[in-house]
């Protein structure tokens, strides 16, 4: 069975294009590279040509997830296993792959209707070390764990999403079962992994946007603090205070990015676990900030009153 190996890139459609580039550079510390056409910019965080594409448009949301497979054999096998399961797949042209800076790409949709691109062979610019947009103590943690993780709105429901992402070779399931006063059943949050990173994709309750948050991990603890200071200096609202997640043990905080979903900056995540377990709340912290965190965001804090 072919399986995806990492979240390689994401494509975001953003309304406030110039603001996003400034936020990415001066707040998050990403490297901004002007795109190959107007209204497109690339964001780098390691040797890859890019990890994020910013497209100026009105979506103000996630447009595409780019999931990697190891090579050509796995790419072809993945297309076959998807088609055998009834998923419509279109193999991209040479030009479409070139536009993504990969060797081959295929396009499909997940059960929520979110755009998925499965690719192999990203362009790695070995001659071009990452140059952060502002001072950093250390690098972003990417490597075999991919660019980070993303929490998405679970529009299609647990069963359909679980079946689809299992088909891509991912493992995981419910990791938080959070009791919420007034609801007959607790709220389930699902987390799926495909490498050492505890989770690559997560699914929260349905929200207004596909994207709940996009997480970047830094290798030096002090870079979480530096990012928090950059957020405060820029007058950007913190939506979820610093704290430690029970599942990935990540020390992190969340701010609201220029598209109105959250950016999480974290440090110290543990490796993915091989046996399932669940939590009712986080280890400590991660309190939502009243007046900033919307109900969609609050669920992500995993700290609904117990
Ligand atoms: Fe997260």
Please state the rounded mean pLDDT for residues 109-130: 98
pLDDT digits (tens, 9 = 90+) for 142-172: 999 999 999 999 999 999 999 999 999 999 9
Please state the rounded mean pLDDT for residues 115-128: 98
* pLDDT band (50, 70, 90) for residue 303: very low
Please state the rounded mean pLDDT for residues 174-187: 92
Determine the distance from the C-alpha atom of residue 241 to the mean position of all C-alpha atoms in its chain, rounded to a whole number.
Answer: 19
Going from the Cα of 248 to the center of ligand 1, the distance in angstroms, rounded, reads 9
Going from the Cα of 300 to the center of ligand 1, the distance in angstroms, rounded, reads 8
Tell me the torsion sign for CA atoms 76, 78, 81, 83: negative
* pLDDT band (50, 70, 90) for residue 132: very high
Going from the Cα of 283 to the center of ligand 1, the distance in angstroms, rounded, reads 14
Going from the Cα of 150 to the center of ligand 1, the distance in angstroms, rounded, reads 7
Report the distance separating Cα 129 and Cα 125, nearest Å: 8
Which tokens in the block code for residue 293? 């965190």
φ/ψ of residue 214, rounded to 5: -120, 125
pLDDT digits (tens, 9 = 90+) for 53-100: 999 999 999 999 999 999 999 999 999 999 999 999 999 999 999 999
Going from the Cα of 245 to the center of ligand 1, the distance in angstroms, rounded, reads 8
Going from the Cα of 185 to the center of ligand 1, the distance in angstroms, rounded, reads 23
Tell me how far CA of residue 39 lies from CA of 180, 189, 261, 292, in angstroms: 42, 35, 20, 29
Going from the Cα of 36 to the center of ligand 1, the distance in angstroms, rounded, reads 31
Going from the Cα of 214 to the center of ligand 1, the distance in angstroms, rounded, reads 7
Going from the Cα of 270 to the center of ligand 1, the distance in angstroms, rounded, reads 13
Q: In this structure, are residues 6 and 195 in contact, taking their beta carbons and an 8 Å threshold?
A: yes
In the chain the domains, ranked by start, together with CATH numbers, are 6-122 (3.10.180.10), 143-300 (3.10.180.10)
Angle (nearest 5°) at CA 240 between 235 and 241: 85
Which tokens in the block code for residue 102? 């990969």
Going from the Cα of 242 to the center of ligand 1, the distance in angstroms, rounded, reads 12
* pLDDT band (50, 70, 90) for residue 302: very low
Going from the Cα of 202 to the center of ligand 1, the distance in angstroms, rounded, reads 8
């Amino acid at each position: 069975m072919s399986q995806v190996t990492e979240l390689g890139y994401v494509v975001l459609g953003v309304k406030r294009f110039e603001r996003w580039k400034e936020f990415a550079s001066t707040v998050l510390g990403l490297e901004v590279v002007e795109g190959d056409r107007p209204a497109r910019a690339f964001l780098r965080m390691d040797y890859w040509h890019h990890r994020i594409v910013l497209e100026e448009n009105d979506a103000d949301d996630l447009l595409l997830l780019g999931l990697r497979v190891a090579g050509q054999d796995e790419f072809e096998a993945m297309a076959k296993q998807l088609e055998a399961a009834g998923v419509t797949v279109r193999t991209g042209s040479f030009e479409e792959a070139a536009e993504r800076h990969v060797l081959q790409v295929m396009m499909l949709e997940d059960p929520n209707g979110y755009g998925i691109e499965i690719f192999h062979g990203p362009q790695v610019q070995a001659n071009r070390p990452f140059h952060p947009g502002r001072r950093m103590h250390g690098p972003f943690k990417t490597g075999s764990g991919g660019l980070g993780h993303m929490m998405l709105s679970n529009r299609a429901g647990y069963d359909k999403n679980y079946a689809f992402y299992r088909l891509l070779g991912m493992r995981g399931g419910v990791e938080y079962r959070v009791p919420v006063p007034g609801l007959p059943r607790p709220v389930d949050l699902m987390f799926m992994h495909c490498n050492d990173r505890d989770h690559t994709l997560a699914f929260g309750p349905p929200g207004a946007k596909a994207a709940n948050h996009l997480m970047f991990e830094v290798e030096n603890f002090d870079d979480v603090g530096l990012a928090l200071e950059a957020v405060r200096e820029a007058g950007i609202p913190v939506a979820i205070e610093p704290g430690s997640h029970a599942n990935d043990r990540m020390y992190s905080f969340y701010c609201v990015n220029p598209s109105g979903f959250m950016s999480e900056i974290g440090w110290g995540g543990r490796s993915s676990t091989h046996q399932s377990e669940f939590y009712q709340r986080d280890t400590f912290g991660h309190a939502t900030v009243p007046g900033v965190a919307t109900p969609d965001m609050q669920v992500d804090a995993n700290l609904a009153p117990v």
